[in-house]
Amino acid sequence: MKNRKARLLALTAAVIFSGSLVAEGVRTPSMLANTCAGCHGTLGASAGDLMPIIGGMEKEFLQMILLEYKTGERDSTIMGRIAKGYSDAELKAIASFMADQEWVSSPVKTDAKMVAIGQKIHDKQCKTCHEDNGRVQEDEAPRLAGQWPEYTMHYLEWCHSKGKRCAPRKMGKRVMKLSKEELKAMAEFYASEK
Amino acid sequence: MAMFTRRKFVKAAGACTALGALASISACTANTPKRASGGGKGRVIVIGGGYGGAIAAKYIKLADADIDVTLIERDKKYVSCPLSNEVLGGDRNIDSVTFGYDTLKNKRGINVVQDEIVAIDPDKHTVKGKSGKQYDYDKLVVSPGVDFRYDKIDGYDAQAAEIIPHAWKAGPQTVTLRKQLEAMKDGGVCYIAAPPNPFRCPPGPYERAAQIAHYFKMHKPKSKVIILDAKDKFSKQGLFMQGYKKFYGDMVEWVSGAGGGIIEAVDANSRTLVGEVEEYKGDVVNLIPPQKAGKIAQIAGLADDSGWCPVNQKTFESKLHKDVYVIGDACIAGKMPKSGYAANSQGKVCAAAIVATLNGQEPGEPSYVNTCYSIISPEWGISVAAVYQLVDGKIVGVKGAGGLSPMNASAATRAIEAKFARSWFKNVTADMFT
């Protein structure tokens, strides 16, 4: 229902805004975004472990990340190499397509003790930005609830190593003070929140 | 279910404003899976349920549930070539690279049939199975992988390959080669004869050398792996040589084609490879022969003199037979390598073209990606990536994008890439089989 209505409105919008667009050789959002699935799973619902779930993430956040990969502002092993293959408009189209997908939480089983430790840290230090246990996505805060813990851990470790240079700075300042065990507990906690 | 909000409207509009005027209308409607008219939009048959075929079948159904899709696969289970080198290295077993078709059948609404297609009649739009059954199609996708040019190497054939396995189609041959490595005495030599271009999985033989050396290092440290190459250079060469040296020292040796690596004949019983100048007698011999498009592509006249299948690189429709599409290793796809990721990407482009055509629309502009990881040591991974587009009817890499892992990357980065390799495998196989 939602999708059909959205597409109908989207058509109208496309007609209205089409004046400024390139007319030839345009690739559809699905054509572009389906190439991501080889690593990020069908429609962005990653099957694990180190590949983040991106289907259902906030559009603005995904756009920002993809553009940062493209410019090299954001560190990566491979995403920079791939993001450079698309125009900014195409990256935005990919972000929009992924944002329109349903978020499918990781089915991973979590350790109750670790989750409890993670919850405490979250309540004390993270919940102002990552509201509703990491479910709310706004102001550049990505969804954390239900993300694969290996990925969250990977990101937290990266942020830990960056310290104050981790963006946003206020997050880096907090993460750099946590131990590896505590970071792991955070990753477990968010994975437990479906 | 979420409410339809202004925010969602903006989101969806954003997706389509990236498109052209008229193009955007067809593109956006093409994304809408169901039409009111119901079934009977057309019958698609896909031959071969691997990296290309399983994806084509699934993505046709995802885009338009009213198209009838039948996937015909010879085997009950699929064994993946990617990551099968880790079976040889001993870090995983064959079951971990083996997949079934139940989810495609039950969840995706694909009619999965176990049969081997032995004939295609492109005029009548029918294919015939070994079972004697005949199947009708409106559009046919052929994703048969590779076949071997046994005739290029004297004394090599399917029977000899039981003694000196190619293991270039994962499955029983992988297990045979692993058993031979396990049975080999310490101090033995394993030869890998790498094929000339073009062939399936360009970095594959070199990852295999690393994985076998990994096993030797742990269990048979006096042994050697020697690659006899038909070529003078190979994929990710610098990164592989760096990794060999770091982890395996002089356990791994590479002999170029010009240096005597070209193999012309074989004596299977004595496990001897005959080069232009020298003979190489090994304790374990893995001969990967020259290749061509899979058997059914040859039988059906889909291949040209090169042995591979020429296609329209925008849609993957055969240049030789109308309404027949060839994807994956078997087709000639411009600059794309013959890899699992490439087949996945081609399967999606082909699926979109078929869905558009069956809906009376022009196929859209394609987009393709390739990513190949290689695991040199359990915590040392490397990769090559590329993004492709269609220019003047040919698939070419986007300039400035893609490329190799850097030579000077840290150990931490290599470790992450090895993890990414395994996570990639989880995702690409989930994309195929779930």
Check if the interface score ipTM surpasses 0.95: no
Q: By 3-state DSSP, what share of chain B in percent is helix, strand and coil, each rounded to 5? A: 35, 25, 40
Whole-angstrom Cα distance, residue B311 to residue B308? Answer: 10
Tokens of B148: 């071997």
Residues in chain A within 8 Å Cβ distance of B367:
27, 31-32, 35
The secondary element (H helix, E strand) that includes residue A192 is: helix A180-192
Which positions 310-349 of B are in contact with A (Cβ < 8 Å)? Answer: 341, 344-345, 348-349
B126 SS3 class: strand
Instruction: Report the side by side order of strands in the sheet with B224-229.
Output: B252-255, B224-229, B189-194, B284-287
Evaluated on CA atoms B174, B177, B183, B189, the torsion sign reads negative
Beta bridge partners of B119: B128
Residue A138: pLDDT band with limits 50, 70, 90: confident
Look at residue A167 in the predicted model and tell me its pLDDT: 84
A60 SS3 class: helix
Between helix B21-31 and helix B340-358 the angle, nearest 10°, is: 100
**Min distance B137 CA to chain A CA atoms (Å):** 25
Tokens of B295: 């058997």
| Closest in B20, B387, B400 to A24, CB measured | B20
Residue with tokens 């498009």: B293
Q: Does B379 touch chain A (CB under 8 A)?
A: no
Contact between B365 and A59 using a beta-carbon 8 Å cutoff: no
Burial B318-340 (b: 16+ CB within 10 A, else e): bebbeebbbbbbbbbbbebbbbb
Contact between B365 and A27 using a beta-carbon 8 Å cutoff: yes
Residues in chain B within 8 Å Cβ distance of A21:
17-21, 24
In a mutational test of the B interface, the residue from A81, A135, A143, A156 whose CB has the highest number of chain B CBs within 10 Å is A81
Positions in chain B short of pLDDT 70: 1-39
Q: Does B355 touch chain A (CB under 8 A)?
A: no
Q: Does B36 touch chain A (CB under 8 A)?
A: no
Contact between A7 and B32 using a beta-carbon 8 Å cutoff: yes
| Closest in A21, A37, A84 to B400, CB measured | A84
Contact B306, B297 (CB under 8 A): no
Whole-angstrom Cα distance, residue B201 to residue B50? Answer: 14
Q: Does A87 touch chain B (CB under 8 A)?
A: no
- Of B55, B19, B115, B15, nearest to B354 (Cα)? B55
Whole-angstrom Cα distance, residue B302 to residue B381? Answer: 37
Whole-angstrom Cα distance, residue A176 to residue A161? Answer: 7
Evaluated on CA atoms B156, B160, B165, B171, the torsion sign reads positive
Look at residue B128 in the predicted model and tell me its pLDDT: 98
Residues in chain B within 8 Å Cβ distance of A33:
none
Beta bridge partners of B79: B98
Residues in chain A within 8 Å Cβ distance of B29:
7, 11
Q: Does B374 touch chain A (CB under 8 A)?
A: no
Look at residue A140 in the predicted model and tell me its pLDDT: 84
**Chain B CA closest to residue A148:** B423
CA distance to A46, A186, B309, B342, per residue, from B430 (Å): 9, 27, 28, 16
| Closest in A10, A38, A86 to B16, CB measured | A10
Look at residue A25 in the predicted model and tell me its pLDDT: 73
CA distance to A134, A146, A157, A160, B248, per residue, from A114 (Å): 17, 15, 17, 19, 39
Contact B21, A18 (CB under 8 A): yes
Region of residue B149 (left: phi > 0; alpha: psi -120 to 50; beta: else): beta
In a mutational test of the A interface, the residue from B16, B365, B426 whose CB has the highest number of chain A CBs within 10 Å is B16
Which positions 64-83 of A are in contact with B (Cβ < 8 Å)? Answer: 77-78, 81-83
- Alpha helices in B263-339, H assignment, sequence order: 295-299
In the chain, the amino acid numbered B172 is P
Residue with tokens 């070529």: B231
Burial B63-101 (b: 16+ CB within 10 A, else e): bbbbbbbbbbbbeeebbbbbbbbbbbbbbbebeebebeb
Contact B346, B393 (CB under 8 A): no
Contact between B20 and A5 using a beta-carbon 8 Å cutoff: no
Does the global pTM surpass 0.80? yes
Q: Is the pLDDT of residue A165 over 70?
A: yes
| Closest in A31, A46, A50 to B364, CB measured | A31
Residues in chain B within 8 Å Cβ distance of A24:
20, 23
Q: Does B359 touch chain A (CB under 8 A)?
A: no
